[in-house]
Structure 1
Amino acid sequence: MILLYLHGLESKLNAAKKAVLEQYGSVLAPDLDYHNNPDAVQQVYEMYKGQPIDYVIGSSMGGFAAFHLGRAFDKPVLLFNPALVKRSVPQNIPTFKTPTSGFGQVVLGGKDSVVDPADTLRFLGDQLKAGFDYHLRAEMGHRTSLEVFEEEVQEFFEYQ
């Protein structure tokens, strides 16, 4: 199984979270420069469109990218505080041929001061009719602790 993980704007996939993901499959985690590349989503699509991606996972800006790439690859997504409504750096949204995505799990921090969970819920409500599970973690801010990451990843893969 191949997992595509997309990091956030000012972060990378750390070793501990990568180890969690590697329990479920091989991890592809490209290093993305969102600041200088407004076409990062399209770039990732071009890099991996010929590979057998099974799942797309992302956090914050990577959650934004994962949402759109999940549609492009028609694969289930796991999104942590995805920056779907507002982003501090511009990103172009390519038009992909696949208009829908598979199952999705969205994890939102109730104390997130970077990505407003209410905005995300409104956006997803307008975009999607069914097929997504929403997990509001009241104690969580924008950053996802290793403990929460592990719990949410486990639940995501148990559902599959």
Structure 2
Amino acid sequence: MNILYLHGLHSKLSPQKRKILEIYGKVYAPDIAYEAKHIQPVEILKQFPDTEFNVVIGSSMGALNAYIISENIGRCALLFNPPLSKYKPVTFATTILKAVATKHIVLGGKDEVVNPAETLKFLGEHLATDELNIKTFPDLTHRIPLDLFEEQLKLFFSSLCY
């Protein structure tokens, strides 16, 4: 299984989280400079021209890009605190047969970086096009603790029969 993991703004995939992800497959985690351009799914995928990803996972700004990539390549996504109110449609050529791709979304009720209410509003406007599994944690802030990351990965992959 090939996993595309996209980190957030001013962040990187920690060694501990990488180790947990590697339980489920080969992890591709590019370093992305979001400062100049927040939305860059095409640029991200160009780094892996011969790789077919089975799932896309992202946190914060990486989750926004993971959402767009999931929409375009028809693969399931696990998204931690995605700032979907910043979403702009991006389409690109793909050789993958597209289908409705389930989105598993984790939101923190106390996130002061990404407003969970704005994300829920965006998702409400897309209920007819997306299959969504939304989990809110009232006391969660923007950072995803290791134990929650591990728990949500386990739930995500078990829903995919892995």
Partner in structure 2 of residue 142 of structure 1: 142
Residues in 2 aligned to 1:123 and 1:157: alpha-carbon distance in whole angstroms:
25
Normalised TM-score (structure 2): 0.88
Cα 1:123–1:97 shift into 2, 3 Å: farther
Partner of 2:111: 112
Contact 2:2 2:28 in 1 (8 A): yes
Instruction: Work out the CA distance in 2 between the residues paired with 1:76 and 1:54.
Output: 8
The answer on 1:70 being equivalent to 2:66 is: no
Aligned to 1:159: 159
Aligned to 1:124: 123
Pairs within 5 Å for 1:30-109: 30-37=30-37, 40-86=40-86, 93-96=89-92, 101-109=100-108
Q: Match of 2:19, as an amino acid? A: A
Total equivalences in the alignment: 156
For residues 104-131 of structure 1, give each alpha carbon's deviation from its aligned partner in whole angstroms, at most 9, with x where no partner exists: 1000001101111111011012123251
Q: TM-score, normalised by structure 1?
A: 0.89
Aligned mates of 1:41, 1:68 — CA distance in 2: 7
Q: Deviations over 1:59-116 (max 9, x none)?
A: 0000000000011111000000001114xxxx96522368864111000001101111
Contact 1:71–1:96 (Cα < 8 Å) also in 2: no
Q: Distance in 2 between matches of 1:94 and 1:47?
A: 17
Which blocks of at least 5 consecutive residues in structure 2 are unaligned?
A: none
- 1:137 CA drift (Å): 1.0
Q: What is the RMSD of the two structures over their aligned residues, measured on CA atoms?
A: 2.0
Task: Measure how far apart 1:45 and its partner are.
Answer: 2.4
Listed as ranges, the gaps of 5+ residues in structure 1 are none
- SS of residue in 2 equivalent to 1:135: strand
Percent identical residues: 40
